[in-house]
Structure 1
Amino acid sequence: MNLEDLYRLLRSEHVQAQGIVDTLQEPLLVLDQAGCVLTANRGFYETFRVSRDDTVGRSLFSLGSGQWDIPELKRLVGEIIPRSTAVVGYEVKADFPTIGPRTMLVSARRLVHPDNNSTSILILFEDVTERRHSEAQKDILLAETRHRMKNLLGIIRSLANQTEVEGRSAQEFRDAFLGRLQTVTEAETLALAGRAEPDLAVLVEQSLKVAGPEQYRVVAGPAIRLSPRQVVPMSLILHELVTNAWKYGAFSKSGGLVHLSWRTSSRANPSCTSTGERKTAHPSLRQVAPGSAPG
């Protein structure tokens, strides 16, 4: 093999190796012992939206606007060659000039070479921004779920304590308690159904679904958006009104009719300034029994 054949072979091997490196989607750098970039793959240029001229020949710790200029990272990378160590998953949070805020995991180790005496360092970067955001959202959701479960158990205990037992059979107590519990369950489901605050009209229709459409008339009041913590109390109020109508009012009589409406009033909010006002909803249920005047 002459010198020309050897050069051609080496060049072919170099092109093949570079092709393998460029196939990797993860950003990759090769540094010399001093931390200067010897080469980078296509994934690095595309991820950080930089050119070869902005990268090769420069120190890792001066790339971009100095996002990698971290004393701890410098120390870890500097220990790779003399101590044959590695950096695995070192987290860097930075605002990169071309791609904005990102969270990157940096892993580095000595580049393997046949003579086992390489002084080059291979650096891999993993963008975990979306993963970290997703994990944070899951943590928030889990904390909110725990809080809601604690509140729900407190509500159930309160329902049990407030449901009257005097003069009632066990079955009557059970039916009353389960009716209230079902109302709370539906209210919680509605509160968790979406980000938008439910309208009072939705709760009204939900509370009246146990009756036929010919048994009630809803005179819609103003649109009132309820916060999640208002949904359960308002649902229980409507449940009690409808339950009373079934027991003692128009729903208990053939041909009876229930009119349900609501209005709002303003009252000073003690937690605000003297000019602050809060809208309060007042549901009103009017019953008309056959052969009687509206009451």
Structure 2
Amino acid sequence: MAALISGFDWATTRLGPRSAWPPCLTAAVDIMLSAQAQIVVFWGEDFIALYNDAYAPTIGDKHPRALGHPARENWAELWNDLEPLLHSVLQDGNTIAAKDRPFYIERHGYPETAYFDISYSPVRDADGRVLGVFCIVNETTERVRADQALRESEERFRAVISQSATGIVQWELDGRFVLVNGRFCEIVGYPESELLGMRMQDIIYPDDLRENMRLFEMTMATGESFEIEKRYVRKDGSLVWVTDSVSGLRDSSGRIQRVAGIVIDINERKRAQEVERRLAAIIASSDDAILSTDLKMVITSWNTGAERLYGQSAEEAIGQSVMMLVPDDRSEEEPAILARIRAGQKVEPYETKRRRKNGELVDVLLSVSPIYDAYGRIIGASKIAHDISAKKEAERLQTVLVGELNHRVKNVLATVMAIARQTLGRSDADKFSVETFEARLSSMARAHDLLIHGKWEQAELTTVIAQALSPYPKDRFEISGPPINLAPRAVVSISLALHELATNAAKYGALSVPDGRVAIAWSLEGGKSDRLKLRWEESRGPVVMPPTRKGFGSRLIESLLAAELNGKVHVSYEPSGLICEVHAAAGIGWDQALDPEE
């Protein structure tokens, strides 16, 4: 600029040649050129411009044409703003200073607002007259804009903090809160005024404090951020689960001076996880088979109850079609169920059959419900199958038992009617008829007691004989034979027959005298033990005479046993004692029992 000023034809301006310049102007220009500050001098009424190298960049493309010309020519866009300042100095002798003063200027081919620190001072001659304006300026546009951007950023940050749906908090290294937003206050239940007088340690649940402090110390040592799930103690004493993302805030030297945390309330998530854990435990421990499928009928979950019921592990079942469980004759069930599930309907429990891994069918009580995703869309089906095999078997057995009981009751009533007719219906019935009738009914009752203990399925022959002969001394009998299980109808028949034989022996035969004995023996005959032989033989009793007519007892023995056992009965009246032999085919009223010694 010194060369430009020296070579400029000042004679063409109102300043005239440099030799004619007043000393105060020469001094001002000398000071200006040697200074490092941005300086421009506006001289005279026309405010002719002179400036130094430091100032030239601030006027952009106005340089160098602005040199030696009136300010109004080159600062026309801001003249209305600049002229009053210059006149105030030139005419009134004022000194004007300002910080970050804005000026609207066009210096790079486009208009902009630039900012300057300015100091406008009067230049006086020896007589004290103001002849020019000495302007020291410092452009602060970048700093002002940076400050504005920073303020705007801070305002946005404050807005984000205040309106954030997450808790934002800052605290000193000793834990004292220095900043909390509204959401954090909501999470912990304290107002901002109270929190700013508290420490982070004051609201952390004691059981979580040690781990929190360990991670904090790690951050102080390494500078690394950390995230922790922990519980805060709210003002009302309740606990709230949060995720806290913690970072250190560094100063210009890189040292951590404060700590910031982003806090998210996860209380509902924790509750949901707890519910999920409980449901998972219930499902895992359930005896029922619980599984789920997607809308393509592909199995997506499989509990241990399903493993037990169907015989397949979760690894084997998951990913397979649920149709592998459906019997061929029920193949339409699953598509029908899926159609109802797609419609959002629950399939109420119903009885059906499903197939095990080994191919066996199992009776189940099946219920099905839709599975929804987080958006309320149906994405699959949940199935619960309860094994009702035992129930079905019990129902079948009950049906059989009811039918059998019905049959047996009819048989018992027929037998009772026959006993009554023979005992009480004779014209020569004596005073013993009622007692005889009661004795026969008691024998039937004892036989039924045996069947009750055998669940109405069978009774062992030795036990039947002992029960039928219980009214008589045991030492009067010799009983021998292999274990034999009798069917219910044979139990009643043999009990009544033995009762009749014992009653007859007590009146007329071996049991009517002190030394009389009765031998009862049975055996299995045939290559495969397919025939039963039962023998009653009396001895050491009175001489036996064949009866002149058959009474009810004889007819009962011969006809009832023969009919019920589908065999033959032979009664002989030997002088030494009565003998009764019964021959029955295998499977008709009896089965060979397991020999305990085998």
Is TM more than 0.5 here? yes
Aligned partner of 1:167 in structure 2 is 428
**Displacement after TM superposition at 1:138 (Å):** 2.7
CA distance 1:9–1:160, shift in 2 (3 Å): same
1:126 aligns with 2:386: yes
Name the structure with the higher strand share.
2
Which structure 2 residues correspond to residues 214-225 of structure 1 after superposition, within 5 A? 216=476, 218-223=477-482, 225=484
1: CA distance, partners of 2:314 / 2:501: 74
1: CA distance, partners of 2:492 / 2:303: 57
1:282 aligned residue (535, 538, 548): 535
1:183 aligns with 2:467: no
Q: Secondary structure at the match of 1:174?
A: helix
**Displacement after TM superposition at 1:185 (Å):** 1.6
Which structure 2 residues correspond to residues 1-295 of structure 1 after superposition, within 5 A? 1=165, 12=270, 15-24=273-282, 25=286, 26-41=288-303, 43-44=305-306, 47-48=309-310, 50-61=312-323, 65-67=324-326, 70-97=330-357, 101-111=361-371, 116-163=376-423, 165-169=426-430, 171-194=431-454, 197-199=459-461, 201-213=462-474, 216=476, 218-223=477-482, 225=484, 227-228=486-487, 229-249=489-509, 251-252=511-512, 256-262=514-520, 278-288=531-541
**Displacement after TM superposition at 1:252 (Å):** 4.7
CA distance 1:120–1:204, shift in 2 (3 Å): closer
CA distance 1:96–1:208, shift in 2 (3 Å): closer
State whether residues 67 and 96 of structure 1, in contact with CA within 8 Å, keep that contact through their aligned partners in structure 2. no
2: CA distance, partners of 1:179 / 1:152: 15
1: CA distance, partners of 2:525 / 2:473: 36
2: CA distance, partners of 1:74 / 1:204: 58
Q: Secondary structure at the match of 2:442?
A: helix
> How does the TM-score come out when normalised to structure 2?
0.40
Identify unmatched segments of 5+ residues in structure 2.
Answer: 1-164, 167-226, 228-242, 244-263, 543-574, 578-598
- Once structures 1 and 2 are overlaid, which stretch shifts more, 229-238 or 6-15? 6-15
2: CA distance, partners of 1:161 / 1:232: 19
State whether residues 311 and 357 of structure 2, in contact with CA within 8 Å, keep that contact through their aligned partners in structure 1. no
Percent identity over paired residues = 21
State whether residues 342 and 378 of structure 2, in contact with CA within 8 Å, keep that contact through their aligned partners in structure 1. no
Q: Secondary structure at the match of 2:460?
A: coil
2: CA distance, partners of 1:267 / 1:50: 50
1: CA distance, partners of 2:524 / 2:370: 71
State whether residues 303 and 314 of structure 2, in contact with CA within 8 Å, keep that contact through their aligned partners in structure 1. no
Deviations 1:214-249 (A, max 9, x none): 6x2x23344473633333333223222322233334
CA distance 1:227–1:99, shift in 2 (3 Å): same
State whether residues 108 and 121 of structure 1, in contact with CA within 8 Å, keep that contact through their aligned partners in structure 2. yes
The one-letter code of the counterpart of 1:198 is E
The structure number with the bigger radius of gyration is: 2
2: CA distance, partners of 1:161 / 1:168: 11
Q: How much is the aligned-residue C-alpha RMSD, in angstroms?
A: 4.0
**Displacement after TM superposition at 1:180 (Å):** 1.1
> How does the TM-score come out when normalised to structure 1?
0.73
Identify unmatched segments of 5+ residues in structure 1.
Answer: 269-274
State whether residues 105 and 127 of structure 1, in contact with CA within 8 Å, keep that contact through their aligned partners in structure 2. yes
State whether residues 423 and 429 of structure 2, in contact with CA within 8 Å, keep that contact through their aligned partners in structure 1. no
Q: Secondary structure at the match of 2:492?
A: helix
The one-letter code of the counterpart of 1:60 is V
1: CA distance, partners of 2:335 / 2:423: 67
Higher relative contact order (CA 8 A, sep 6+): 1
Q: Secondary structure at the match of 2:421?
A: helix
2: CA distance, partners of 1:206 / 1:136: 31
